[in-house]
Homo-oligomer: A and B are copies of this chain.
Amino acid sequence: MSVLVVGSIALDSIKTPVHDHVDLLGGSASYAAVAASFFAPVRLVGIVGSDFPQEHLGYFQGRGVDLAGLQVAEGRTFRWSGEYHENFASRTTRSTDLGVFERFSPELPGTYRETPFVLLGNIGPGLQSQVLDQMGQREFVVADTMNLWIDIARDELLALLPRIDMLVLNDEEARQLTGEGNLVRAGRALMALGPAFVAVKKGEHGCLLFSKAGDYFTVGAYPLEEVHDPTGAGDSFVGALVGYLAAHAAGGVDFAALRRAVVHGTVVASFNVEAFSFDRLRAIDRAAIDRRYREFSAMSHYERIA
Which chain A residues numbered 185 to 232 have a C-beta less than 8 Å away from chain B?
A: 185, 202, 204-206, 208, 216-221, 223-227
The smallest C-beta distance from A178 to any residue of chain B, in angstroms, reads 13
Q: Does A283 contact B (CB under 8 A)?
A: no
CA distance A51 to B204 in the complex (A): 46
Q: Among A69-77, A119-127, A234-242, A297-305, which stretch is in contact with chain B?
A: A297-305
Which residues on B sit within 8 Å (CB–CB) of A87?
181-182
Name the interface size band of chain A: 35 or more
A206 pairs with B220, CB closer than 8 A: yes
A299 touches B216 (CB 8 A): yes
Selected from B202, B216, B259, the residue in CB contact (under 8 A) with A302 is B259
Residues from chain B with Cβ under 8 Å of A220 in the complex: 206, 208, 218-220
- Within 8 Å by CB of A217, from B205, B293, B299, lies B299
The contact string, 1 if C-beta is below 8 Å from chain B, for chain A 269-305, is 0000000000000000000001001100101111111
Check if A260 is an interface residue, CB within 8 A of chain B. yes
Q: A299–B206 Cα gap in the complex (Å)?
A: 14
Contact across chains for B216 and A184 when beta carbons are under 8 A apart:
no
For the complex, what is the distance from the CA of A223 to the CA of B207, rounded to whole Å? 12
Query: Interface residues of A: mostly helix, strand, loop or mixed?
Result: mixed
Residue of B nearest to A299 (CB): B216
- Asked whether A256 is an interface residue with its Cβ less than 8 Å from the other chain, the reply is yes
Closest chain B residue to A86 by CB distance? B181
Q: Do B182 and A226 touch across chains, with their CB atoms under 8 A apart?
A: yes
In the docked arrangement, what's the CA distance between A220 and B293, Å? 18
Closest Cβ–Cβ distance, residue A119 to chain B (whole Å): 21
Nearest Cβ in chain B — how far from A72, in angstroms? 39
Contact status A304-B294, CB under 8 Å: yes
A290 vs B303: C-alpha distance when bound (angstroms): 13
Chain B residues near A302 (CB-CB < 8 A): 217, 219, 256, 259-260, 262-263, 297
Complex Cα distance, B216 from A216, in Å, reads: 23
Contact pick for A300, options B217, B226, B305, CB 8 Å: B217
Given contacts A89-B181, A216-B299, 11 further A-B contacts (CB under 8 A): A183-B223, A184-B225, A202-B205, A205-B205, A206-B206, A208-B220, A217-B299, A217-B300, A218-B220, A220-B220, A300-B300
A-B contact pairs, 18 of them (CB 8 A): A87-B181, A89-B181, A182-B225, A202-B205, A206-B218, A208-B223, A216-B223, A216-B299, A217-B300, A218-B300, A219-B220, A219-B300, A219-B302, A259-B302, A260-B305, A293-B305, A300-B300, A301-B301
